[in-house]
Structure 1
Amino acid sequence: MKKITLLSVLLIALTAEIISQSCLPEGITFSNQSMIDDFQNNYPDCEIIEGKVKIKGDDISNIDGLSSIKGINGYLTIKSNPNLLNLSGLSNLTYIGGDLYIEENPQLINFIGLDSLSSIGGYLNILFNENLINFTGINNLTSMEEDIIITANNSLTDLSGLENLTSNVTYLVLDSNPVLTDVGAVQNISSISDMIAIVDNNSLVSLSGLENISLDALQSLMIKRNSLLSECAIQNICNYLSDSIGTVNISENAVGCNNQEEVNTLCYDGIPESVNHNMVTVYPNPARDFLFIDAQGSHIEEAIIYNEFGQILDIQFNSSNSINISNLLSGIYIIELKLNGLITRQVFIVAK
């Protein structure tokens, strides 16, 4: 599949070169604003740059002079541009044959301007962009070849803009993004083959949205030092922990994802459920002193609380919709509910 995707990128590049004028096989570095402003005068027929492109300059505030570029066969690096406000000058860029690096651009808040970009032949590296909020503007990106590395973007709250990416990727690295709360925008990625590393994202509470990505070929899973992350037991990770011979490092997260054993417990699927999970809500989760149950009007005939080892801690008959759990220590528990003769089990966390 990777070879097919790469072939598609090359065919796009070849077709574009046939109908467009190519130039600069050795590539080009734009180091100041005047080089960008003069580009179309200096290279009036250039629409496809054959080599690599680097944009790096203290006085670069816009890249509007690059609007004639439709394709780059090499990689594109946009790095260390303290005054660059947006990427609108790349609005006609449809493909990058190599990697895309966007690094240390403190004024960028999104990627508006990359609206035409549909394929990347290498890595997507987004690093140290301190005011980047999300990936809006790159919404038409559907295919890429290698790793997604998103590191140290201090204002990044989510990955919106990557919803249409459907490729197989090798690495997914989310590292040191302190206000990242939602990773669901990458839910349409087909598979991750080598590594997932989710590290030091201290506002992330859940991995929800990643559960449909195939991890069948994954070699390494690292989830560590995400101080609020308690929901890691999504289906594909549960499958990986159960079946894989790859490496696992789950540590220093919140209760529920603090180590591999906790995640394994949350992946536990006990007795087959006769009540649809969606028909019963147990909240809050994590809880402290009381657990509330919304059974949508069904009578709770019996409630049994188990610890993570399957030992019964409490049984209540004809229970109300609130259960006192103030005597429970911090940890992972299972509540079994009998509703109108039917059984459901759900996992909850006590955090004190």
Structure 2
Amino acid sequence: MHQGCESAAVISTACSIPCPTNVTLSTQAEVDDFGVTYAHCNNIGSNLTLSGPDITNVEGLSHLYTIGGDLDFSSTPLLNDLSGFDHLTTIGGAFYYYFQNPAIAVVNAFPALTTVGGNFVVYDCDGLTSFTAANLQTAGGVQVGLNDNMTTLALPSLTTVSADFTVYQNNVLANLDFSGLNSTGNFYFEENNSVTDMSGFSNLQTVNGYFDITNIPLLTSITAFSNLTAITAYIQIEENDAIANLSGLENVNPLLLTGVHINNNPNLAVCNIPGSICIYIDNGSLNVLVANNANGCNSAAEISYACSLNCISYTTWNGVSWSNGVPNADTGVTITGDYTSAGNLDSCSFTVLNNADVTISSGDDLYVKGKVDVQSGTMTFENNANLLQFSETVPNQNAGNIIYKRNAQMRRLDYVYWGAPVLDQNLGDFSPQTVTTRFYTLNETTNSFAAIDPALNDFVPANGYMILPRIIFLRR
């Protein structure tokens, strides 16, 4: 017969003892005695703190269903059995599991726990490799950080976090399961060096506050956030070395945003996300900070331009091959290595970087919806090669070192009709040995050619010019 159950009188006496409201247990003996003295108590009205170097199990607490305040494991280095909390359903305050609980590497406990009213904290537990609370549904906040050896964090039934959700500085954390999470307050996900994707958050719909993904060096994709529709503060994507595309944010309501911060992501080239970032930036909204990303996402102006093109995919030529297949009319093209065309080429936009030399071969056509932007290097169109730009809404303000070659058969006393597709080409420099009185331009009002001073005039786009070649050209 268990102690405390020897007789009706003993039971009656035990039941008359008031249940405690604020409990600190510092030894295993105190834990065991609590189970005897307060076996009739299913509830602790306030806080329960476990802090003792010899505590190994919590079987003396197996009768608890609710804790009105905090549950605090602050320093229990020998604790190796949490099954005493198998009946615990509710913690009214915070859950603190932190500092030197090395005896349990894998925590898969608290099977009945559904509610934590305050913060759910797992912090600075170097011996911890995995933490699972399978049935927790709501928490006032989540703070998981500085767990150097934790690879797995699973709260799959958690649906609502009313305050901050913060997961940070867990160096080997790679497996995340928050598949039930629907809404949270501020979302901070920072400095988790082994995370490659965010698939554990596939059902997140609402962030009531900031959405911050910072310094996740192996993160390549955030497409898992495709169900996210509401962020009520700013989006911050910063210092993520591998991410190349912000697809996954297309369903976020831009009217709820208060800012967009996209900085120091060296491979991030695709920020023109329709329906969210594009609308927010194009509306001239405040608090837009964009810098030090890859070409195409290096400023608010670049994002706005890319939004206007609506390129669907992107590919890069590195001098040997395309990173994402041969481009088509909906593909943004970046050239980082020397390239010579071997046929026609379609693109949505065309950018040259890394001092690459690009040659469009004779007879080939380059089709570009937007502009040609030679930021470094050269781009040469050989004779009979053509640049065809066909957008009716996007200005084609080409820039950089672009050489456009044309061979013309010119004979003495024959005029040749010209037009230049490049800026700042002076008429006199174009044909320096033509006498200055033999330059003409078409007057569209009179439909006749009128003389023009070659020294004072450059080619004007879409204007036609008539120029007499120098006198030494062949006779007929």
TM > 0.5: yes
The equivalent residue for 1:109 is 151
* Separation in structure 2 between the aligned mates of residue 281 and residue 200 of structure 1, nearest angstrom: 28
Instruction: Give 1:246's aligned residue.
Output: 286
2:309 touches 2:348 (CA, 8 Å); kept in 1?
no
* Residues 293, 322 of structure 1: 8 Å contact kept: no
- Higher alpha-carbon deviation: 154-163 or 43-52: 43-52
Alignment of 1:200-239 (within 5 A): 200-235=239-274, 236-239=276-279
AA at the equivalent of 2:91 = I
Give the C-alpha shift of residue 76 in structure 1.
0.4
Matches within 5 A, 1:69-108: 69-88=113-132, 90-96=133-139, 98-108=140-150
1:216 and 1:322 mapped to 2: Cα distance? 36
Letter of the aligned partner of 2:138 in structure 1?
Y
- Residues in 2 aligned to 1:52 and 1:304: alpha-carbon distance in whole angstroms: 53
Work out whether residues 123 and 145 of structure 2, in 8 Å CA contact, stay in contact via their aligned partners in 1. Answer: yes
- How many positions carry a matched residue from both structures? 300
Alignment of 1:30-179 (within 5 A): 30-31=73-74, 32=76, 37=81, 40-41=83-84, 45-58=87-100, 59=102, 60-88=104-132, 90-96=133-139, 98-112=140-154, 114-135=155-176, 137-141=177-181, 143-179=182-218
In 2, Cα distance between equivalents of 1:304 and 1:107: 46
Separation in structure 2 between the aligned mates of residue 304 and residue 139 of structure 1, nearest angstrom: 37
Any idea what the Cα deviations from partners look like across 1:59-91, whole Å, max 9, x if unmatched? Answer: 142334433322212210011111112123x12
Percent identity at matched positions? 22
- Consecutive unaligned residues in structure 2, runs of 5 or more: 1-62, 311-326, 353-358, 380-386, 400-476
Q: Which amino acid is the alignment partner of residue 262 of structure 1?
A: E
SS in 1 for 2:240: coil
Distance 1:293 1:24, change over 3 A: farther
Residue identity matched to 2:128:
L
Q: Equivalents in 1 of 2:190, 2:259: separation in Å? A: 18
Residue of structure 2 equivalent to 1:29: 72
Contact 2:129 2:149 in 1 (8 A): yes
User: Shift of residue 264 of structure 1?
Assistant: 2.0
Q: 2:105·2:128 contact (CA, 8 Å) conserved in 1?
A: yes
CA drift at 1:218: 1.2
Give per-residue Cα distances to partners, 1:172-195, cap 9 Å, x unaligned: 101111111111111211111211
C-alpha displacement at 1:94, in angstroms? 2.1
Q: CA–CA distance in 1 between the matches of 2:373 and 2:306?
A: 21
Contact 2:170 2:191 in 1 (8 A): yes
Aligned to 1:264: 304
Q: Is the 8 A contact 1:130 1:152 kept in 2?
A: yes
Partner Cα distance (1:293, 1:207) in 2:
33
Residue 130 of structure 1 aligns to a residue whose secondary structure is coil
Structure 1 gaps, min length 5: 1-19, 271-277, 309-313
Counterpart secondary structure, 1:196 = strand
What SS class does the counterpart of residue 170 from structure 1 fall into? coil
Post-superposition CA distance 1:22-68 (Å, at most 9, x none): 5222211113265572x554x67531111111101321423344333
Q: TM-score with structure 1 length normalisation?
A: 0.71
- Paired residue secondary structure (1:75): strand
Alpha-carbon distance between aligned partners in 2 of 1:56 and 1:33, rounded to the nearest angstrom: 11
The letter for the 2-side match of 1:91 is A
CA contact (8 A) 1:71 1:94 kept: yes
- Is the contact between residue 360 and residue 366 of structure 2 (CA under 8 Å) also seen in structure 1? no
Paired residues for 1:333-352 under 5 Å:
none
Residues 322-341 of structure 1 mapped to structure 2, 5 A cutoff: 328-330=374-376
Deviation digits for residues 202-224 of structure 1 (CA, Å, limit 9, x no counterpart): 11111122122112121111111
Contact 1:68/1:92, CA 8 A, preserved across alignment: yes
Structure 2 residue identity aligned to 1:255: N
**Deviation by residue 1:293-323 (Cα, 9 ceiling, x = unmatched):** 99xxxx98x9998899xxxxx9999746899
Whole-angstrom distance in 2 between the partners of 1:253 and 1:101: 29
CA distance in 2, matches of 1:67, 1:115: 12
- Structure 1 CA distance, aligned partners of 2:188 and 2:285? 24
> Are the aligned partners of 1:132 and 1:154 in contact in 2 as well (CA < 8 Å)?
yes
After superposition, give the CA deviation of every residue in 1:270-305 in whole Å (9 maximum; x if it has no partner): 9xxxxxxx97454754554448799xxxx98x9998
Summarize the Cα distance change of 1:173–1:305 in structure 2 as closer, same or farther, 3 Å threshold. closer
The structure with higher relative contact order (CA 8 Å, sep 6+) is 1
The alpha-carbon distance between structure 1 residues 148 and 264, as it changes in their structure 2 partners (threshold 3 A), is: same
